[in-house]
Amino acid sequence: MTALTLAHLSDPHLGPLPPLRLHQLAGKRAIGYLNWKRGRHAIHRRDVLDALVADIKAQSPDHIAVTGDLINLALPDEFTQARAWLSQVGAPHNVTLVPGNHDAYVRPTQKQISEWEDYMRGDNAGEGTPLSFPFLRRRGPLTLIGASSSVPTRPFMATGRLGPKQLDALDRGLSQLESDPNFRVLLIHHPLSSKDSYKRLTDADALLDLLKRRGVNLILHGHDHIHSTMWFDGPQGRIPAIGVPSASAMPHRHYPPAAYNLFSITPDGNGWRCEQQVRGFADQAAIERKEVSELQRTQLI
């Protein structure tokens, strides 16, 4: 069997913001809008994102995973803009999405995430079936499990939560996959470990206990806007959890410029070999020239 390639990008934070009405700036959105105007609009650039997506397409991956934060303030028009961007990335069959905390920035607009449901629908979900998490998609030897840690939070908080219902469903689903020979990838927005209490996954311990019993081959996440590799216990060894910078970011402070992960997954005896290639902008000069280059290759499994 030839290698299957899986691209992973996250946190595009699509701009510019659509026109706002005064009543839309109540509560948490007002703080987010000020942050956007004070600097985030210059950090998250559409030309950077477009160059990154063009490079992904040039690699011809078999599938693309997007781990959330497509938008910024969860304004109604942002959902529509993001749906148009998703269609440029690829067809729903070839792109799998899980939402991030900015995609559920405020509670009243959470239902509008259904505009993206074609990218978050499990294989067994029929047309018109309400969107639910976790969902499961099989793409050849790849099984993608999409979980949502996307919940509205108080101002200055960016925590995530799966909740008991989703954890129970994930436990049942993974138990049914224990004899599945496919390479299993869990997609989630929040990392499973964070030093910052204001943006952590609040039920990470419960998820880690579950994965220790049930296991997956790889975890992909976003949220922190940095390159990250963490290892967690699984039933048959350690599980790599890989984070990635924002797909639209200019370098700022300790945050690196835009990048994405490209995984090459091949059978290896009774198991799998997964190689990670990080492709992204090397420095600010490269971003100005809109060049994308290989940074590193790491064998994970």
CATH number at residue 267: 3.60.21.10
In 26-167, where do the E strands start and end?
Answer: 63-66, 95-97, 135-139, 142-146
> Which pLDDT score is estimated for 55?
92
Please, what is the average pLDDT of the chain? Answer: 89
Q: Is the pLDDT confidence value at 210 over 90? A: yes
Q: Answer yes or no: are the C-beta atoms of 269 and 7 closer than 8 Å.
A: no
User: Percent of the chain having pLDDT more than 70?
Assistant: 92
Please indicate whether residue 90 or residue 24 has the higher confidence score (pLDDT).
Answer: 90
In a domain, 21, yes or no: no
Q: Answer yes or no: are the C-beta atoms of 135 and 125 closer than 8 Å.
A: yes
Q: Which of 239, 242, 221, 243 is nearest to 231 (CA)?
A: 239
Backbone φ, ψ for residue 159 (5° rounding):
-75, 165
Q: Is the pLDDT confidence value at 277 over 60? A: yes
- Rounded to an integer, what distance in angstroms lies between the CA atom of residue 157 and that of residue 202? 12
> Which pLDDT score is estimated for 180?
86
> Which pLDDT score is estimated for 110?
56
Helix (H, G, I), strand (E, B) or coil at 171: helix
Q: How many domains does the chain have?
A: 1
> Which pLDDT score is estimated for 111?
65
In a domain, 132, yes or no: yes
Mean pLDDT of 180-207: 93
Q: What is the DSSP letter of 252?
A: B
In a domain, 20, yes or no: no
> Which pLDDT score is estimated for 287?
42
Place of tokens 């063009």: 54
> Which pLDDT score is estimated for 294?
41
> Which pLDDT score is estimated for 134?
97
184: left (phi over 0), alpha (psi -120 to 50) or beta: beta
In a domain, 116, yes or no: yes
In a domain, 137, yes or no: yes
Domain enclosing residue 52, as ranges: 4-15+26-299
Mean pLDDT of 5-31: 91
pLDDT tens string 63-85: 999 999 999 999 999 999 999 99
Q: Which of 123-127, 193-197, 285-289 has the lowest mean pLDDT?
A: 285-289
State the pTM of this model: 0.93
Q: Is the pLDDT confidence value at 7 over 60? A: yes
